[in-house]
Amino acid sequence: MRSTYIIVGIILVLLAGVFVFTSSKDEQVPATTTTVEQQAVPETMVEDDTGNVIFNVSGTNFAFDVTEITVQEGDTVTINFESKDGFHDWVVDEFNASTLQVNPGTVTSVTFVADKAGEYEYYCSVGQHRQMGMVGKLIVETK
């Protein structure tokens, strides 16, 4: 009977397939090592010896790494801004403060006196970045 040979043939092929499958599973696949690189995050805020407060902020498409900055009324504030990805700046209208617009690789700074207590929005003024959510909050606390 021809069909019997065909059925036996199919069974043999299936058995061979199972054998190949199980034997290949025995091979020791080297364990994938998932190491999470602990990157040293630079201190966001530092206070220099004259009492000025300095913040290191970076921007990507389309967000700042620091989304809230708190200072005291009267503080002289320096923002060192760096783009990690894309073309950006750091602006806060109420203190007339804005950095240059920079590409990755350039650090730009702006210094201003936070002489009015309140909450202000800082943002990136490039294109529609502000509307796209590239904003943060500057909190100036009453002394």
Can you give the binding site for Cu ion, defined by CB under 5 A? 88, 124, 126, 129, 134
Nearer to Cu ion, 47 or 121 (CB): 121
User: In terms of Cα–Cα distance, which of 115, 112, 120, 124 is closest to 57?
Assistant: 124
Residue with the CB atom nearest Cu ion in the bound state? 124
* Alpha carbon distance 65, 50 (integer Å): 26
Nearer to Cu ion, 111 or 131 (CB): 131
Structure token digits, residue 130: 């502000």
Minimum separation from the CB atom of position 121 to Cu ion (A): 14
Nearer to Cu ion, 92 or 124 (CB): 124
Quote the distance between the C-alpha of residue 126 and its chain's center. 18
